Amino acid sequence: MQAAFFGVIAFLSILSAILMVMNRNPVRSALFLVANFALLAVLYLTLAAQFIAAVEIIVYAGAIMVLFLFVLMLLSLGASHALRERGGLQPLVAIILGLIFLASLSAAGAIGTLGPGQATPQWVKNGGTVKAIGTALFDPRLPWLFPFEVTSILLLVAVVGAIVLAKRRV
């Protein structure tokens, strides 16, 4: 039953991803991406990673994609004209980058630290909770605290940069 469920969700998420790429209407494209994120969140849930699932929806489907849509709607203003950019280097670059991404994903899977037999149900259950992730991120004995703080500074810089750019234009 779990396998069937996974199959359905995986199929739907791949379908929505394909539709997202194939659709010529940018708004619909974005909405398919939202659907894709939601389905991915469901997949995370089946892996007992509730925190990741919630964050996936809050951050990607709820905030980032809505902002995307926001901009798209303001720009296209009702007239649903399709994206005109065709040809050029874009598809080629996209394919190459996609292959590189696939290769790195497979490499990561191959050299991952998770040995066989390690992913017991109990381990999975404890690994995905908010508490586990919080402890992992903020425990000074683990190596993740520094990168985490650096990332937040990076985000802060990005925010300040955005404001500076926006202000300069006004």
Partner 1 sequence: MSVAHSGSADARRSGQFVGVIFVFIVLLVIAAVIGHLTLPGLAPVWHFLGAHPILNALVKAVVYVSFIALLVLFLIWWERKFAGWLQARLGPKHVGPQGMLQTLADALKLITKEDITPAVADRPLFYLAPFVVFVPTVLTFMVLPLGPHWIAQDLNVALLYVIAISSMTATGIMAAGWGSNNKYSLLGGVRAVAQLLSYEVPMVMAVLSVVTFVGGLSMRHIIDYQAQNGWLILKWPLIPAFLIFLIAALAELNRTPFDLPEAESELVSGFHTEYSGMRFAFFFLAEFANNFFSAGFAVALFFGGYLGPILPGIVWFILKTFVLITLMMWIRWTVPRLRIDQMMGLCWKLLVPLSLVVFILAAAWASR
Partner 2 sequence: MATELKNYNTASAQAQGIQIDPIDEQTMVINMGPQHPSTHGVLRVILELDGENIVNATCHIGYVHTGIEKEGEFQTYLKAVTITDRLDYVSASINNLAYTLSVEKLLGVAPPPRGQYLRVMLCELQRIASHLVWLGTHALDIGAMTVFFFAFREREKILDLFEMMSGVRMMPSWIVPGGLRGDAPEGYFERVKAFVDEFPYRIEEYETLIDQNPIWLERTQGIGILTPEECMALGVSGPTLRATGVPHDLRKAVPYCSYDQFRFEVPIGKYSDVYDRYRVRMAEMRQSREIIKQALENMPDGPFNVDDRKVMPPPREELDHSMESVIHHFKWWTEGIHPPVGEAYVPVESPKGELGFYLVSNGSNYPWRMHVRGPSFMNLQSLATMAKGRLIADVVAMIGSIDIVLGEIDR
Site string for partner 1, 107-146 (x = CB under 8 A): ----------------------xx----------------
Residue 41 touches which member of partner 2, partner 1, none, C-beta under 5-8 Å by kind: partner 1
Return the range that interacts with partner 1 (CB under 8 A); candidates 9-17, 28-36, 88-96, 112-120. Answer: 28-36
Q: Is 74 in the site for partner 2 (CB under 8 A)?
A: yes
Nearer to partner 2, 3 or 79 (CB): 79
Enumerate residues 6+ apart whose C-beta is below 8 A from 83: 24, 26
Distance, C-alpha 109 to centroid of its chain: 18
Please give the angle made by the CA atoms of 134, 150 and 102, to the nearest 5 degrees. 80
Site string for partner 2, 29-68 (x = CB under 8 A): ----------------------------------------
Answer for which of 78, 109, 112, 116 binds partner 2 (CB under 8 A) is: 78
Nearest of 69, 19, 67, 22 to residue 39 by alpha carbon:
19
Q: Is 62 in the site for partner 1 (CB under 8 A)?
A: yes
Enumerate residues 6+ apart whose C-beta is below 8 A from 124: 47, 48
For residue 129, the one-letter residue type is T
What torsion do the CA atoms of 147, 150, 156, 161 make, to the nearest 10 degrees? Answer: -110
Q: What whole-number distance in Å separates Cα of residue 42 and Cα of residue 53?
A: 7
Instruction: List interacting residues with partner 2 (CB under 8 A).
Output: 74, 77-78
Give residues in contact with partner 1 (CB under 8 A). 27-28, 31, 34, 38, 41, 50-51, 53-55, 57-58, 61-63, 65-67, 69-70, 73-74, 77-78, 80, 129-130
